[in-house]
Structure 1
Amino acid sequence: PILHGHELQKGIAAPVNPARGAFLKTLHTIAVGHSHRTSTHVEPDMFGREVAVWSVGCLCAPNPEYNRFAKSNHGFAFVSLATDGQFDFENYRISQDWKVRTA
């Protein structure tokens, strides 16, 4: 699933990174955007299946006046979906000099 992220709001940014926070809340493969920070967390579940969680950067002003100390970054993601349900998630961040980088 892809969520905005406000649904998981309390405590999502407190762990190491927003993706880890979303993982701890959902224990499911998911992508969120609410934190405006690019991050990834991957862990196997108890059956050895990979659970991957991504948080995606923003395309708005990263440090608005109402939240000057946010650790936001510019970013975006591409998702490629195969007919069998498999997918690739490419999470990108945009540097301050406007270069697109892999997360």
Structure 2
Amino acid sequence: MTVNDVIKSLGLSVFGGEKGLSREVTGGYVSDLLSDVMGNASEGDVWATLQTHKNVMAVASLKEVAAVILVKGLKPDEDMLEQSNEEDVPVLGTEMETFELAGRLYGLIKK
């Protein structure tokens, strides 16, 4: 499954990092604590968060996540978007609450 497949299945918005839409998704991770993501997320995960700043992209790049999904209708800060495009890590968005997104992602990825 690719990031594009996740976008289509969940009706997500694409804010940036379009060059990374063909990345392979192998799992998911949900956290708003950057140090938690640094210690526990895996390469290929889709990371759901409500954090919208540049440091998210630094962690996303370091952990080689497939994409970042912003929940609750949040939009990325300009510097986050700029970093997303530079690193080719997609930043996506949804109106869903984190709990709903996590459940739907789990059902989609763990098939």
User: Normalized against structure 1, the TM-score is what?
Assistant: 0.31
Rg larger in structure: 1
TM-score normalized by structure 2? 0.30
The answer to which structure has the higher helix fraction is 2
Structure with more of its chain in strand, by fraction:
1
